[in-house]
Amino acid sequence: MQAKYKEASEIISEAQQLFQQIRNELGVAECLQRLGDIYRMQGRNDEAIEMISDDQKQFQTFGNQMRAAECLWSLGDLYRMQKKYDEATEMIMKAQKQSDEIGDKTGAAFCFRLGSIYRGQAKYKEASEMISKAQQLFQQIGNELGAAECLKKLGDIYRVQGRNDEAIKMVSDAQTQFQTIGNQMRAAECLLSLGDLYRKQERYDEATEMIMKARKQFEEIGYKAGVAHCSRTLGRMYKNQAQYDKAVDMFSNAQRQYRSIGKIVNVAWCYQYLGITYRLQHQYEKAKEAFTEALELLNGFPGEKYKIGWTLLELGHFFLAVKDFVEARRKYEEARNVFDSHGQLEREVVECSRALAELDEAVKQ
pLDDT of residue 241: 95
Q: Which residues contact 349 (CB under 8 A, 6 or more apart)?
A: 336, 339, 340
Q: What is the mean pLDDT of residues 229-241?
A: 96
Q: Give the C-alpha separation, 349 to 352, whole Å.
A: 5
Q: Could you state, in order of their start, the residue ranges of all structural domains in the chain?
A: 1-104
- Percentage of the chain with pLDDT > 70? 99
pLDDT tens per residue across span 192-212? 999 999 999 999 999 999 999
pLDDT of residue 42: 81
Exposed, middle or buried, 226 (CB in 10 Å: 0-12/13-18/19+)?
A: buried
User: Residues 179, 187: contact at Cβ < 8 Å?
Assistant: yes
pLDDT of residue 40: 85
The superfamily (CATH) of domain 1-104 is: Tetratricopeptide repeat domain (1.25.40.10)
Q: Give the C-alpha separation, 4 to 328, whole Å.
A: 40
pLDDT tens per residue across span 317-363? 999 999 999 999 999 999 999 999 998 899 999 999 999 999 999 99
Q: Per-residue confidence at 281, pLDDT binned at 50, 70, 90?
A: very high
Average pLDDT score over the chain: 93
pLDDT of residue 104: 65
